[in-house]
Structure formats: structure tokens, C-alpha cells
Amino acid sequence: MRAGIIVLAGAIGGAALGVAAVLTMAQHGLVPINDRQMQSYLMQHPELVPAMMARAQVMDDQRQAAAQAAAMAKIGHAAFFDPAIAFVTGPADAKKTLVEFYDYDCPYCRASLPAVKKFYDQNKDKVRFSFIEFPIKSLHGESAVLAARASLAARRQPAHYMDFHFALLAQEGEITDAIITAEATKAGMDLAKLKADMSDPALEKSLTSSIALAHKVGVDGTPTFVLNGKFHPGAVDDETLTKEMES
């Protein structure tokens, strides 16, 4: 097993060195650099492709992280805790903060739910939380927007909001009116008020504002977390969330 790991590590390392060598030689005109010739060269050396793709992803992630850090510096951390945009809970003077951009129909948001709920239950009295709607209609359809409107309306009954929010994220399929009714009832909400508030045109402004904030800071997928001011795109588990919140 150990020998296999060494061989694999060597292969990966060799591919990475090969990529670096190709790029260096290209810069000095020692290998073809136009698209057609480069494509031909890579066809002859397919072992370089995975490492090149991995390197390209790393560079893209670094560019996005730099852009998001710049956007954060420009708009300020407080923008994520605007009650007109987010559901905010926890001590206002908390030293640690957790922000989540989410979509109720997003499978990765649902996969993150156990870790987020556990962390919330354990830290709701000492961490400042912000939950921001970012329904991606083009990916998840009308039910994502329906769930977002229900969530926005539920903020007007704050004592029941978190139970309702976690219940919607725990669903396995699309969110329907029947599911909203059932989970709101379980959460102890005033159902008539919730339904009336869901029809309030003001919700559209809040939803538009939360989506605009996501775009300003380069959030293009869900879930995206901002943990103590640092962006973390993608799902989280207990270990990742605890480690990043403690760093």
C-alpha cells in the first residue's frame, strides 16, 4: 500500500512538474503556443491534462477569493447583517460570525444542514448568524422562489423562524405549498399571517436585495458561507465548520 502511494504521489508530482515545464517552455517559444498546436501537443501528452486542469482550478479559486476579499473590504462586513436582507440572530457583539447564502432546493445546502444546525444549536448564544436567501431559479425552478418567499414571510414571526428554516432545508424534494403549510404548523407559526405575508410585494424587494448582495461579492453558487469574514464556497461538515470557525 505504501509503495502504491509513493508511486501515485510521484506520478502526480511528475505531472505537475510537466505542466510547469510546458508553460515555461511555451513562454520561451520552445513548444507551440497557439490553440491548435497546444491541443495537438496535449493529445500527444494526455498525462499532463489532469494536472493542468487542477492547476487551472486552483488559479481560478485564488482569483475568486481575491475578488471576494476586495468586495468585502469595499462593502464592509456589516452588509451581511442587514435585517432588510438577512435573518440575523445571535449576540450583536459576538466575536465570531457565520453567514450562509442558501437555496432551499440546493442539494449541497441540504447536505450542510446537519453541521450548520448542530453548530447553531451549540453556539446560538455566542455567535452572530446571518441567513441570506439566494434562490437560483435557473437551476432549481419555481419551488426555490416559493420557498424563499415563505422564508422571508416567516421572518416576521422570528420566534419560530429557525425551526421553520431548518425544516424546509430538511426536505428531500421540491418545496410545495403543502410542505410549507405542514412545516409552518409544526413550527407553531400563525399560518394565516404567514400566508398573508407571503403575498406582500415588499418581499420582492428583500429578495432582490439579497440576490444583488450575492452578486456584489461574487457569490455564484449555494451554499456559500462567510465564516468570520472569510468566504467558504460549497458544502460543510462538522469538522470543516468547527475548524474554520476556530481559525
Last residue of a domain, one of 50, 68, 86: 68
Please work out, in degrees rounded to the nearest 5, the angle formed at the alpha carbon of residue 154 by the alpha carbons of 152 and 157: 130
Q: Answer with the one of 68, 91, 107 that is the final residue of a domain.
A: 68
Angle in degrees, 0-180, between the axes of helices 2-27 and 49-75, rounded to the nearest 10: 70
Neighbours of 173 (CB within 10 A): 8
Residue 113 and residue 50 share a domain: no
Nearest to 135 by CA among 112, 105, 110: 105
Same domain, 52 and 14: yes
| CATH code, domain carrying 82 | 3.40.30.10
- Tell me which residue range forms the domain holding 217: 77-246
pLDDT, position 46: 78
Q: Which of 68, 90, 106 is the last residue of a domain?
A: 68
Closest by CA to 147, choosing from 119, 121, 181, 122, is 181
Residues 98 and 134 in one domain: yes
Q: Are residues 103 and 198 in the same domain?
A: yes
CB neighbours of residue 208 within 10 Å? 11
pLDDT score at 141:
61
pLDDT of residue 51: 72
Q: Is residue 24 located within the same domain as residue 81?
A: no
Do 94 and 112 lie in one domain? The reply is yes
Alpha helices in 45-106 (DSSP H): 49-75
Residue 119 and residue 48 share a domain: no
Tracing cell 487551472 back to the chain, one arrives at: 56
Could you state, in chain order, the average pLDDT of each consecutive group of 10 residues for the chain (247 residues)? 34 46 54 63 73 67 65 77 96 96 95 97 97 77 88 97 98 94 98 96 93 91 93 93 89
Q: How many domains does one find in the chain? A: 2
Do 223 and 195 have their domain in common? yes
Same domain, 155 and 183: yes
Q: Are residues 201 and 242 in the same domain?
A: yes
Whole-prediction pTM: 0.73
Residues 8 and 57 in one domain: yes
Q: Do residue 52 and residue 108 come from a single domain?
A: no
At 146 the pLDDT is: 93
